[in-house]
Amino acid sequence: YLLITDTSRPNDTPTSPSQNNTEDRNLDAKDLKFQLSLKTEMMSNIPIIRSLPYVTSSRVWAAYTQQSYWQIFNSKASRPLRENDYEPEIMLSLGIDNQVDGVKKSYIPRLLNLGFVHQSNGRSNPVSRSWNRVYLESGFELTERLSLMVRPWWRVPESQDDNPDIEKYIGYGNITLRWEDDKRKNAVSVLLRNNLRSDNKGFAQVDLQRQVFNNPYLKLHVMLSSGYGETLLDYNHSQNIFGLGISLGE
């Protein structure tokens, strides 16, 4: 997807407990935000797993996501690409039969993903950020139009840590609630994170989507987000962001 975004609070001087930084980047509040996500199947119909109860399919996927922020309107700073987040991952994905005696049960997930993901901004100190996680994701069909994804994760410990307190802001997982109309032309997705601590730091994003030109692979997006972790470098920085743009493919 491709979005024009506007933030209430640019993170001019990003820091972390292990990375002091005094350089002021003099950022513009507007970015051109774009993301590319790819996924390919590495293995399917896996022995042993395919014979487990309720399992209807088993696949191993490799995936890659890159999310970038371009200061295209910041002519004074020569329009730099201010941030790139790289996220390769590998996952085992299981399709699940959620029927009991021929009746669908919404509390039984239709999908289970077990994955390992690395995320890094590829920068040098003092603005280097990275972490590794293992996650278990469950997908539920609550109704014909409403679905829920629940993804808790565990951070893999590191000896050299650029962001040792990242879980205090990003938390230990996220949930995504998605609604589609019966013709799949309009959709709303809500993404939520929370650190599950008394200080209650979190992140919320609402994504309004509408199919355009009667093309299922071309959608108009209006996004609103608030909280910590818009990017990996912004993991401990809170801001409100409005975005407008399009997505290609799905």
Two tokens, residue 29: 């509040």
Per-residue pLDDT band for 172 (boundaries 50, 70, 90) equals very high
Q: Is the pLDDT of residue 250 over 80?
A: no
- Percent residues over pLDDT 70 in the chain: 100
Q: Is the pLDDT of residue 142 over 80?
A: yes
Q: Is 120 a catalytic residue?
A: yes
- Give the tens place of pLDDT for each residue, 45-75: 998 888 888 899 999 999 999 999 999 999 9
- Give the tens place of pLDDT for each residue, 203-221: 999 999 999 988 889 999 9
Q: Please say whether the beta carbons of 150 and 173 come within 8 A.
A: yes
Q: Is 221 a catalytic residue?
A: no
The pLDDT, as a whole number, for residue 23 is: 83
The pLDDT, as a whole number, for residue 43 is: 94
Residue 169: strand, helix, or coil: helix
- Percent residues over pLDDT 90 in the chain: 84
Distant-in-sequence contacts of 10-13, Cβ < 8 A, 24+ apart: 10/239, 11/233, 11/234, 11/237, 11/239
**Average pLDDT of the chain to the nearest whole number:** 94
Q: How far is CA 55 from the centre of its chain?
A: 26
Q: Which candidate in 120, 138, 238, 247 is catalytic?
A: 120
Q: Is the pLDDT of residue 192 over 80?
A: yes
Give DSSP secondary structure letters for 6-54.
EESS--SS--BTTB---------SEEEEEEEEEEEEEEES-TTGGGSTT
Q: Which of 24, 23, 30 is nearest to 9 (CA)?
A: 30
The pLDDT, as a whole number, for residue 184 is: 87
pTM: 0.92
The pLDDT, as a whole number, for residue 146 is: 96
What is the average per-residue pLDDT within 71-93? 95
Q: Which helix (H) or strand (E) holds 170?
A: helix 167-170
The pLDDT, as a whole number, for residue 53 is: 86
Two tokens, residue 249: 């493919």
Q: Which candidate in 18, 106, 118, 226 is catalytic?
A: 118
Nearest-angstrom CA–CA distance, 10 and 197: 25
